[in-house]
């Protein structure tokens, strides 16, 4: 383990920043490399074989270049497919991001839970397996959103995103009668790391209040389990942001909070 450790966080775009933010809070001393595979965004529009063929060699190149001590795949659309391939191919420890169906179903009181993810994530056999194993008697509604990740990217980049566009994407999550709080959906799994970027708006546009389950804090705890708690010495480790398209990032102000106040190089 290098000191400070280097943690590489990978996503198709800016959504993984919601996971990065929690890891940075748990390990503020670490050096961070955030990689957005924007050249292939959105992953939700690609087939399974294409995603595996894209991500596995790309992560290998990133490991070569940045020598991370741990890699977090901060993308449900990729993690529900590639984790076993990555672990077979490379020795660095990996932490993935998969739909938080188990805690959502454990905490739902009405036993109606929705999983809001990309169309790819809700189709995955991996996701269906989580429901078989962990639904705990809940009725689970899978909602594959075609555009919400793209809308979240646009909003973070300062573009205007209309309420109507967001409402259309989330409406199928709300099952049951608004007037019957004892049986309507009460818990929604944010099964795409982009969606917490829009959390305030999702809560505002929801037809009734629900618990939104964001797995990022649990992922940060897993990272700390694997690489340990921060030491006492903070020596100002840096942060880097890489876009696979090669474009420079122009979002420093908007990105700083996700990097714990650091400006990523």
Residue 258 binds ligand DGL, judged by CB under 6 A: no
Site for ligand DGL in 193-212 (CB under 6 A): 193-194
Contact stretch for ligand DGL (CB under 6 A) within 53-61, 71-79, 84-92, 122-130: 71-79
Q: Measured from the CB of residue 263, what is the shortest distance to ligand DGL in angstroms?
A: 23
Q: Are 237 and 29 in contact (CB under 8 A)?
A: yes
CA angle 103, 71, 188 (to 5 degrees): 25
Q: Residues 226, 122, 19, 49: what is their CA dihedral angle, to the nearest 10 degrees?
A: 70
SS3 assignment for 171-192: HHHCCCCCCCCCCCCCEEEECC
Q: Measured from the CB of residue 208, what is the shortest distance to ligand DGL in angstroms?
A: 25
Nearer to ligand DGL, 36 or 237 (CB): 36
The phi and psi torsions of 207 (rounded to 5 degrees) equal -70, -20
| Among positions 121, 185, 187, 244, the unique one binding ligand DGL when judged by CB under 6 A | 121
Chain position carrying tokens 């996503």: 11
Q: Is 192 among the catalytic positions?
A: yes
Nearer to ligand DGL, 100 or 237 (CB): 100
Q: Is 75 among the catalytic positions?
A: yes
How far apart are alpha carbons 120 and 143 in whole angstroms?
Answer: 10
Residue 43 binds ligand DGL, judged by CB under 6 A: yes
Residue 19 CA, distance from chain mean position: 6
Contact stretch for ligand DGL (CB under 6 A) within 6-14, 62-70, 206-214, 243-251: 6-14
Binding interface with ligand DGL (CB under 6 A): 11-13, 15, 41-44, 75-77, 118, 121, 149, 192-194
Catalytic center residues: 75, 192
């Amino acid at each position: 383990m290098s000191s400070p450790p280097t943690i590489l966080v990978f996503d198709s775009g800016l959504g993984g920043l919601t996971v990065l933010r929690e890891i940075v809070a748990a390990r503020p001393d670490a050096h961070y490399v955030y990689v957005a595979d924007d050249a292939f965004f959105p992953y939700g529009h690609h087939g399974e074989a294409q995603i595996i063929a894209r991500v596995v060699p790309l992560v290998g190149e990133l490991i070569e270049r940045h020598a991370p001590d741990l890699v977090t795949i901060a993308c449900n659309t990729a993690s529900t497919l590639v984790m076993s391939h990555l672990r077979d191919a490379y020795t660095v420890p990996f932490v993935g991001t998969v739909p938080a169906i188990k805690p959502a179903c454990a905490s739902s009181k009405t036993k109606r839970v929705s999983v809001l993810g990309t169309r790819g994530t809700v189709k995955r056999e991996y996701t269906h397996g989580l429901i078989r194993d962990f639904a705990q008697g809940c009725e689970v509604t899978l909602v594959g959103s075609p555009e919400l990740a793209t809308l979240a990217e646009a909003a973070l980049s300062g573009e205007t995103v209309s309420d109507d566009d967001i409402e259309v994407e989330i409406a199928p999550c709300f099952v049951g009668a608004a007037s019957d709080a004892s049986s309507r959906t009460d818990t929604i799994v944010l099964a795409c790391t982009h969606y917490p970027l829009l959390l305030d708006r999702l809560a505002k546009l929801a037809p009734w209040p629900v618990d939104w389950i964001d797995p990022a804090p649990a992922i940060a705890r897993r990272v700390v389990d694997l690489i340990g708690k921060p030491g006492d010495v903070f020596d100002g480790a840096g942060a880097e942001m890489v876009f696979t398209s090669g474009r420079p990032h122009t979002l420093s102000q908007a990105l700083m909070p996700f990097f714990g106040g650091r400006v990523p190089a």
